[in-house]
Amino acid sequence: MNIVQYVNEKGKRQVAVVKDGQLHPVKGLRTTLELAEHALVERASLAKLAATLASSRGEDYAAALKERRVLPPVDHADPAHCIITGTGLTHLGSAAARDSMHKKLDTAEETLTDSLKMFKMGIEGGKPAKGEAGVQPEWFYKGDGRWLVAPGAPLPQPSFALDGGEEPEIAGLYLIDGKGRPVRLGFALGNEYSDHVTERQNYLYLAHSKLRHSAIGPEMITGALPQNIEGKSRILRKGKVVWEKPFLTGEGNMSHTLANLEYHHFKYEAFRKPGDLHIHYFGTATLSIADGFRTEEGDVFEIEAAPFGAPLRNPLKLMKPDFKPGGVKAL
């Protein structure tokens, strides 16, 4: 089942089921979190409850997208209680890239970069037996709910950034229940937008490069994630495609299981506070900058993959400086 959040023509928030190009509002509930909390109380699956409560009357999905009334598929009323994080070096990539990577891994351990060492660790220990912990992945913090961008809205490039580049990924969406247990609501397409030029200067700049806005949606899919997902990532400039490449994701194309990635995030007690929402990106193997492409203001990122319905589109917007050196004052 595919679920969206949007603002209807009367200006009211809705959570809805997507079916045949129509949005069928869930009766009596306004948000995905309300739907999830109701499902927890009823001890029902989110999909089953949504299907039961969905209105038979539909609204035009295409019109809502065009008019930018579609919201992220899940958000939190208090953005401080939405934690956005991610993990990297988790994907095997295409067959050619995989062969190339394995050839590099045949070299002596002391000659490997830290990135290749971590990739090798994932290959060897990222898919443990059920119920066991595998090797830790790369992990990073991106921000809170204030940095979550809706479908169609601009992705801001800070004035100090050296790059604004796309990362086509799948994001896991989680609510922490009243007993401190993570509950997966579903998955969404995401653009884990980052500054790759800064990261390439020094791997220790990874944290700086990841502190950026990101976008998810438009739709959340419920249930299990397909093992193999084929999508396309493209960049449009003045309405024309200037870069495009397929990407592969799903566990069949990853060096870690989703369960292992989830464990190494939620093992920290601070990430299991009741009522918190977590958006956790699972990584990618496809980047335009890897092909030497440089983005410009006004470029539109477009990411699509069949299970997720409508593509995720966001333009790039350069920001003016809003904080200067010496801006901190003593009290």
- The whole domain housing 65 covers 2-70
Per-residue pLDDT of 130-166, as tens digits, reads: 999 999 999 999 999 999 999 999 999 999 999 999 9
pLDDT for the residue 92: 85
Domain boundary among 48, 70, 92: 70
Q: Are residues 13 and 159 in the same domain?
A: no
Q: How confident is the model at residue 93 (pLDDT cuts 50, 70, 90)?
A: low
SS3 243: strand
What is the CA angle 138-219-226, rounded to 5? 60
Q: Is 203 left (phi over 0), alpha (psi -120 to 50) or beta?
A: alpha
pLDDT for the residue 114: 81
Q: Are residues 169 and 284 in the same domain?
A: yes
Q: Taking the mean position of all CA atoms in its chain, how far away is CA 59?
A: 26
Q: Are residues 95 and 198 in the same domain?
A: yes
Average pLDDT of the segment spanning 258-286: 97
Cβ(249)–Cβ(284) below 8 Å: yes
Inside any domain, residue 140: yes
pLDDT for the residue 237: 98
Inside any domain, residue 323: no
Q: Are residues 227 and 307 in the same domain?
A: yes
pLDDT for the residue 112: 75
Per-residue pLDDT of 161-218, as tens digits, reads: 999 999 999 999 999 999 999 999 999 999 999 999 999 899 899 999 999 999 999 9
- Indicate the pairing of strand 155-157 with strand 312-318: parallel
Percent of residues, the chain, with pLDDT higher than 70: 95
Inside any domain, residue 327: no
pLDDT for the residue 108: 62
Q: Is 95 left (phi over 0), alpha (psi -120 to 50) or beta?
A: alpha
Q: Are residues 162 and 78 in the same domain?
A: yes
Which one is predicted more confidently, 175 or 92? 175
Q: Are residues 21 and 150 in the same domain?
A: no
pLDDT for the residue 23: 98
Closest CA relative to residue 287, chosen from 93, 149, 19, 7: 93
Q: Are residues 183 and 103 in the same domain?
A: yes
pLDDT for the residue 102: 46
Domain boundary among 18, 44, 70: 70
pLDDT for the residue 65: 98
Q: Are residues 26 and 170 in the same domain?
A: no
Which one is predicted more confidently, 69 or 89? 69
Average pLDDT of the segment spanning 44-67: 97
Inside any domain, residue 29: yes
Domain boundary among 12, 47, 70: 70
Domain count, the chain: 2
pLDDT for the residue 181: 98
Q: How confident is the model at residue 234 (pLDDT cuts 50, 70, 90)?
A: very high
Whether residue 94 is predicted with pLDDT greater than 60 in this model: the reply is no
pLDDT for the residue 115: 81
* Residue whose entry in the numeric block shows the structure tokens 């009211």: 12
Q: Are residues 25 and 142 in the same domain?
A: no
Per-residue pLDDT of 240-261, as tens digits, reads: 999 999 999 999 999 999 999 9
Handedness of CA 17, 246, 199, 262 (dihedral sign): positive
Closest CA relative to residue 173, chosen from 214, 220, 231: 220
Average pLDDT of the segment spanning 116-135: 93
